[in-house]
Amino acid sequence: MDTIQQLVILTLTAVPRIKRIAPMPVVVALCLPLVAGCGLADRPVGDGTVVARATGHKVTVRELATSMAAGRYLPLRPEIAERWAWLWVEYTLFAQRVLEGDSLVDSATVLQSRWPRFRARMVDSLFERLAQEQSLGGMRAVDSAFAAGDQRYVQYMLVHTAPALSERDRSARRRRAEGLRTRLVSGDAWTAVTESNEDESAQIVGGDVVVVSRGMVSRELEDAAFALEPGEISPVTETALGYHVIRRPPLEEIRAAYARVIQDTLYWRMRDAYADELLARYDVRLAPDAPDVMRTAAESPNRNKQSRDKVGTYRGGQLTAAGFVRWLQVLPIEVHEGISQSGDGELRELARRIIRYDLEWTEAKNAGILLPDSVFRAAKWQVARDVSRVRRALAIDSVRTETAGGRGAVASDAALGYLTLLAQGMQDHEVANVPPFLADKLREEARWSIRYDTLDEVLDLARILRAADSTSSGRLP
């Protein structure tokens, strides 16, 4: 499990999820986190007013409204209008670069487009090196852990009961469990007796529960498991599920499996301890209003992409609202939705985790961690695949030979044409979004802008156009 996966899992456990009705695929794609730009000065709005600009080209209120009104599936809501403007900017910048002959798979672009995975691999490589240096999971560590007994590899079988069982039936169930135990004590192999195990999940793995520690299972099973010496079999133990028989295998029977669990446990303990030491060594401090800054950034990521409001500081750097938004693009949509309902303590913990991963990456760089060429080649292939998908969606390959003066208009028209297709009913197909970190790079390297004060006019005109189209075609609006 790599670093990014760990951050996702830890974050989802810290940030509450919100129950929601699953939207249509096109709406899901359009509701992904928005990214920021600069608005133009307010001025009178008409249907010819410019909504957005990209590399010297523009889209007007009428053009964007016509695109949004083109189909029945696109909700005419403010957040969708804003996203529509952002998609036009992203697609136009993308198409412009491709038409200029840029493959978008040069080394710098690949590195920026895939930075989460590159960072994760470097951090994981750092900890793999540290684990080897500390001989985690070596023979001595396995023997010591088994002898200490804090983590016990156990096997168990179950004979089910139910609250509604009569005393007669319950006694019969207990006698069945006692009979299974007698077979084991008499020398029958565990693998043979466990065929009668009524816990299907345990039966699949031969009755093995692998490793348990205190607090992981019910008190009755815990007491029975931790009373056993290696090779011993417990008395029949009753829980709410029924009657259990537990065995603690000797180390020689399960050394390989036990070693894997111990190695994994020691590895993550080492990483947690290292993280705690990092936070102290770099003097990590969260801003008093960090949770509010994070909520604001998650609520309006497009307006906070360039925000310098501080979430936290550490020696040599800081986590700003803009940096937090960048990390939000790595995490699942459930995290964004849950932030508004998360407590201050949960958000502070999330901020510490993000800073922790940034510091771990710094440590990996300082340690001279280099990734093999195969990792970069795989990333380059993935970026090339993503670029190819967007190129096909915009249908711009056939116009690559256009003159330089006409390429900008072609790029703008391609972007608007694809948005119109989305509105017309591509909800059953995957939306070809420009990958978020590639889109970041395109915006950083170009001049562009969005006028937020025109979006209400876009929506009003889109509603009028859609209603008129519905009436003329005999459909209800």
Domain with CATH 3.10.50.40 in the chain: 150-252
Share above pLDDT 90 across residues of the chain, in percent, rounded to a whole number: 51
Q: Under the phi-then-psi rule, with left for phi > 0, alpha for psi from -120 to 50, and beta for the rest, what region is 135?
A: left
Least confident of 56-60, 102-106, 141-145, 456-460: 141-145
Q: Tell me how crowded residue 351 is: count the other CB atoms within 10 A of its CB.
A: 22
pLDDT of residue 211: 82
Instruction: State whether residue 59 is helix, strand or coil.
Output: strand
CA distance 99 to 91: 12
Enclosing H/E stretch for 32: none
Q: Residues 53-62: what's their mean pLDDT?
A: 92
Choose from 102-111, 298-307, 463-472 the range with maximum mean pLDDT. Answer: 102-111
Q: Residues 295-319: what's their mean pLDDT?
A: 91
Write down the CATH number for the domain with range 150-252.
3.10.50.40
Q: Residues 222-246: what's their mean pLDDT?
A: 93
CA distance 99 to 406: 10
pLDDT tens for each residue of 193-202: 888 888 877 7
CA distance 156 to 153: 10
pLDDT of residue 2: 52
Q: Residues 211-220: what's their mean pLDDT?
A: 88
Least confident of 10-14, 94-98, 469-473: 10-14
Alpha helices in 205-250 (DSSP H): 219-225
Beta strands in 118-207 (DSSP E): 152-160
pLDDT tens for each residue of 410-452: 899 999 999 998 888 754 567 888 998 999 899 889 999 999 9
CA distance 390 to 29: 14
pLDDT of residue 371: 86
Q: Residues 278-289: what's their mean pLDDT?
A: 96
pLDDT tens for each residue of 321-357: 999 998 988 887 777 778 988 999 999 999 999 999 9
Residue 281, pLDDT above cutoff 90: yes
CA distance 209 to 212: 7
Rounded (10°) angle between helices 61-68 and 455-472: 50
Q: Exposed e or buried b for every residue in 21-38, given b needs 16+ CB within 10 A?
A: eeeeebbebbbbbbbbbe
pLDDT of residue 408: 53
